[in-house]
Amino acid sequence: MADDSSDFGHVPVLLDRCVELLTPALTRHAVDGSGAVLLDATLGAGGHAERFLTDLPGLRLIGLDRDPNALEIARARLARFADRITLVHTRYDGLAAALAESGCGAVESVDGMLFDLGVSSMQLDRAERGFAYAQDAPLDMRMDPESPLTAADILNTYDQAALADILHRYGEERFARRIAAQIVRRRARAPFTSTAELVALLYQAIPAPARRTGGHPAKRTFQALRIAVNDELNSLGAAIPAGLDALAVGGRMVVLAYQSLEDRIVKRLFADAVASRTPVDLPVELPGHEPRFRSLTHGAERADAAEVERNPRSAAVRLRAVQRVQQSTGKGDA
Ligand SMILES: C[S@@+](CC[C@H](N)C(=O)[O-])C[C@H]1O[C@@H](n2cnc3c(N)ncnc32)[C@H](O)[C@@H]1O
């Protein structure tokens, strides 16, 4: 079933596949999901959440988002399920505390977990938030408007080496050093205030042949700044292990990543989770050292052509999923 509920500003990606992967975990005790908990770590407009709450009338949902505006939109959309939902304003690496606050344990207590990473269409569409290089806006890029660091702060205060490092590591930008040098030269005249000023600089800094072949010249720099402003990779690197710790035996986690840096983190943490703890040189599995998780996907799954045509945002998605098969012996060894 396709969901084109774009009146909420964001069309959920790979919705049917998320339902197919998570439903067995959410219905293993009762067909209507009674007694089961789904943690939506990136609630956004609540598109995925709405589908699960509709399909499973006994399900309880805990929804997290660091963007208070997203929580407001989701709260309105999910109002008819108010008695079954708990919405928490937090970064997803605070999921253990959010679970505890919601009266749910942070260890082996959750049946399903969904991470639909990155920015939402509502965040991109609201020009004043500064995420989109196509629209002139203040250099903000904070997902949580209460967090202290903006893109302008980084551009106007970080030294040249730190700027080059951010552009190289988080944007995989070939011309990182050259761009960083031009940023420092340009800001000596006047500090950066708008996205258009940065885009104009990038057109000058990136050589013409690379501009013709490498996608929009601002794409990689905007991605890098957004990741740095929101500390996205550290947040994800801490959230996935905490999420795995929180999954009950039989519980499942699905992650949708839209850029390779995030997908690499998910791939590595999942590979570690499904690995055996038995030393490689032993011929048999040592009791207590079996893998705690099994993979539900082979490599990363992509959206099909029909979905990409309906929802271009799905073109970049990579979905990975795992299921807990064994209890942990102690905290932190998930
Ligand atoms: C792609 S949208 C989710 C869309 C949602 N699945 C839907 O169907 O409406 C991603 C959401 O995750 C939130 N987000 C991104 N990074 C986060 C983090 N570290 N902690 C909590 N929320 C985060 C964003 O604010 C955004 O609202």
The per-residue pLDDT for range 119-137, each reduced to its tens digit, is: 998 898 888 999 999 999 9
**DSSP three-state, residue 1:** coil
Lowest mean pLDDT among 152-156, 254-258, 273-277: 273-277
Binding-site residue ranges: 46-48, 65, 92, 116, 123
pTM as predicted: 0.94
d(CA 116, CA 118): 7
Burial 244-273 (b: 16+ CB within 10 A, else e): bbbbbeebbbbbbbbbebbbebbbebbeeb
Residue nearest to atom 4 of ligand 1 (CA): 44
237 phi, psi to nearest 5 deg: -60, -30
Paired tokens of 41: 């770590």
Q: What is the pLDDT of residue 332?
A: 46
Q: Which residues are annotated as a binding site for S-adenosyl-L-methionine?
A: 46-48, 65, 92, 116, 123
| CA distance linking residue 158 with residue 78, whole number of Å | 41
Please give the distance, rounded to the nearest whole angstrom, from the Cα atom of residue 161 to the centre of ligand 1.
30
Give bridge partners of residue 293 from the DSSP assignment. 324
- pLDDT of the residue at 143: 96
CA of 91 to the centre of ligand 1 (A): 9
Report residue 2's pLDDT band, with 50, 70 and 90 as the boundaries.
very low
Q: What residue owns the CA closest to ligand 1's atom 22?
A: 65
User: Amino acid identity of 287?
Assistant: P
* SS3 sequence of 274-324: CCCCCCCCCCCCCCCCCCCEEECCCCCECCCHHHHHHCHHHHHCEEEEEEE
The residue whose CA is least distant from atom 24 of ligand 1 is 119
Ligand 1 atom at shortest distance from the alpha carbon of 65: 22
> Of all protein residues, whose CA lies closest to atom 15 belonging to ligand 1?
118
Q: What is the pLDDT of residues 184-219, one digit of tens each?
A: 999 999 999 999 999 999 999 999 888 888 789 999
- Ligand 1 center from residue 65 Cα (angstroms): 6
Concatenating the DSSP letter of every residue in 160-201 gives HHHHHHHHHHHH--TTHHHHHHHHHHHHHHS---BHHHHHHH
Q: Examine the pLDDT at 28 and tell me if it is beyond 90.
A: yes
Q: Is the predicted pLDDT of residue 47 greater than 70, yes or no? A: yes
Q: What is the pLDDT of residue 60?
A: 98
Given this model, what pLDDT does residue 288 score?
84
Q: Which ligand 1 atom is the nearest neighbour of the CA of 114? A: 6
Q: SS3 of 20, please?
A: helix
Task: Compute the residue count for the chain.
Answer: 334
- Spatial CA neighbour of 112 closest among 56, 176, 175, 169: 56
In angstroms, the CA 263 to CA 328 distance is 25
CA-74 nearest atom, ligand 1 = 9
The chain-wide mean pLDDT, for the chain, equals 94
Q: How far apart are CA 116 and CA 279, in angstroms?
A: 34
Where do the domains of the chain lie, and which CATH numbers do they carry? 15-122+232-324 (3.40.50.150), 128-230 (1.10.150.170)
pLDDT beyond 80 at 8: no
Task: List pocket residues of ligand 1, CB cut-off 6 Å.
Answer: 10, 12, 42, 44-48, 64-67, 70, 91-92, 116, 118, 120, 143, 235
pLDDT tens string 142-157 = 999 999 999 999 999 9
**Residue 246: predicted pLDDT:** 97
Report the alpha-carbon distance of residue 213 to residue 208 in Å, rounded. Answer: 9
For the sheet containing 247-257, what is the strand order?
A: 85-89, 60-65, 37-40, 110-116, 247-257, 318-324, 293-295
| Structure-block tokens of residue 334 | 């998930």
Residue nearest to atom 27 of ligand 1 (CA): 44
Q: How confident is the model at residue 252 (pLDDT cuts 50, 70, 90)?
A: very high
The pLDDT tens digits for 56-73 are 999 999 999 999 999 999
